[in-house]
Amino acid sequence: MLIKSYFILLFTMLVDLDHLFATPLFDACRCSIGFHPLHSYIAIIAYFAMFLYPKTRIIGLGLLMHMATDAIDCVFIRENCF
Ligand SMILES: [Zn+2]
């Protein structure tokens, strides 16, 4: 169970693949939240719904934690880039 959770959480990092559709591919001063399709507010609401549903709870949790770390990133971006 623990191993399975570990791989599910690892798998949630794949949401960053949506960065591949952005130009430029990587921009250190760009806030992911609200910019990339899988980091949009609608997507975050969907992740929260997944978290509330027991069968997809771990995936939802992983995705929400990912959004939280990206949001923390945005705070530093605001302080250092503008
Ligand atoms: Zn991300």
Tens digit of pLDDT at every position of the chain (82 positions): 789 888 888 888 888 888 777 777 777 788 889 888 899 999 999 999 999 999 999 999 999 999 999 999 889 888 888 6
Give residue 70 CA to ligand 1 midpoint distance, Å: 5
Residue 48 in any domain: the answer is yes
| Coil, helix or strand at residue 28 | coil
Q: Can you give the C-alpha Rg of the chain in angstroms?
A: 14
Number of domains observed in the structure of the chain: 1
Give residue 66 CA to ligand 1 midpoint distance, Å: 6
Q: What is the pTM of this model?
A: 0.82
Residue 25 in any domain: the answer is no
Residue 74 in any domain: the answer is yes
Q: How far is CA 56 from CA 7, 69, 80, in A?
A: 14, 20, 36
Residue 60 domain boundaries: 2-20+30-80
Residue 56 in any domain: the answer is yes
Give residue 19 CA to ligand 1 midpoint distance, Å: 8
CA distance 41 to 59: 17
Residues bordering ligand 1, an ion, CB closer than 5 Å: 16, 32, 70
